[in-house]
Amino acid sequence: MQISATPQLSHATTGTPRAAASHPAAGRGMLLAGRIISGFVALFLLADGVLRTAHFAPYVDGLVQFGYPAHLATPIGVTLTVCTLLYLVPRTAVVGAILLTGYLGGATATHVRVENPFYLFAVAFGVLVWAGLYLREPRLRALLRA
């Protein structure tokens, strides 16, 4: 008996494999939408991480205003950049999404702590991280359907 690396899902009544091949246009559309959403999110987060690492004044000033020491800009920026790069690589995308969820959760908590209404921005980015991944990753869709 041979074990497949990718599980084959079947329709309950027909026994035929459930795949995007039966609706190729829908599968390509979901993939394209997922890549666009993920690309938008990744572009923003990579810029944020790189500018924080480079000690761009508005980013460092923001950290200080929220109560963090300025010297943490580099480790925070590197963390965000690494998490985002993991999110972009298909093989590590789920791990990257989980790590970005934690990062954005911390950003949300920081904004809530100082009563800044822009916490919704971090929440929205967390939703977009998972929406993009859901649309571009059929294994995640299959897992959530199971």
Q: What is the pLDDT of residue 17?
A: 47
Q: What is the pLDDT of residue 14?
A: 45
Any idea of the CA torsion for 70, 71, 72, 77, to the nearest 10 degrees? 90
Position of tokens 């800044």?
A: 116
Please state, as a whole number, how many other Cβ atoms lie within 10 Å of the Cβ of residue 140.
17
**Tens of pLDDT, residue by residue, the chain (146 residues):** 444 455 444 444 444 445 444 566 768 999 999 999 999 999 999 999 999 999 999 999 999 999 999 999 999 999 999 999 999 999 999 999 999 999 999 999 999 999 999 999 999 999 999 999 999 999 999 999 87
pTM above the 0.75 mark?
A: yes
Q: What is the 3-state secondary structure (H, E, C) of the chain?
A: CCCCCCCCCECCCCCCECCHHHCHHHHHHHHHHHHHHHHHHHHHHHHHHHHHHCCCHHHHHHHHHCCCCHHHHHHHHHHHHHHHHHHHCHHHHHHHHHHHHHHHHHHHHHHHHCCCCCHHHHHHHHHHHHHHHHHHCHHHHHHHHC
Q: What is the pLDDT of residue 10?
A: 45
Q: How far apart are CA 20 and CA 33, in angstroms?
A: 15
Q: What is the pLDDT of residue 27?
A: 86
Q: What is the pLDDT of residue 23?
A: 60
